[in-house]
Structure 1
Amino acid sequence: MEESWTTSERFGSTWEFKFVPPNNMQVDGKSARILAQNPGFIVAMETPGTNENAASVWMYALHLGLQTVVASQVNAFGGLDGGRRGVKARSTNFDCEFVIE
């Protein structure tokens, strides 16, 4: 690949994860599909986003005991012809404070 690995990207905002039992989850107001769960964790996938030139999807693993969320995104953009095009993957982790109501 032409580009190298980087750890300099930052999101600079607070993300809100909201789980309403038994199987409704939202991430910053966007629907997420719960793929697996037990009393200590949830694994979810955000509804994929797409437009005429790009598509991406986020996956999340929330762990209540560890107060942590890890997230990964895959993204593809551009078409067969020249111009700006490529694929991207990124992973990040969040330190969290879970509020259980």
Structure 2
Amino acid sequence: MSKEDKKATSQTPSVEECGIFLLMDEISDSTCKDVIQFIISKNLVKPYPKYLQLIINSGGGDLQAAFAVIDTMKGSAIPVYTVGLGCVASAAIAIFMAGEKGK
């Protein structure tokens, strides 16, 4: 790898640093904890990003855990847009539907 490639790689922000969270697993307390921490952490840093994006590919899972994510999304000062990618079913569809409408 050249010096230029290394420099470009080290300067490339992570997906989460760009305000994007990938929810690509079953809906569980563990996966939802990660989503909730992401949303809350972005709400604690100013200036706020204009929006957050939650990309979902999940067959579903625990509805109570999904409700915790939905409550966090609704309480966020930053709008949370959702994108369905692949399979979005069961509890995952509840999270998907709770997101802000696309532009």
Asked if these proteins are the same fold (TM beyond 0.5), I'd say no
Rg bigger for which structure? 1
TM-score (structure 1 length as normaliser): 0.25
Larger relative contact order (C-alpha < 8 A, sep ≥ 6)?
A: 2
Higher share of residues assigned strand: 1
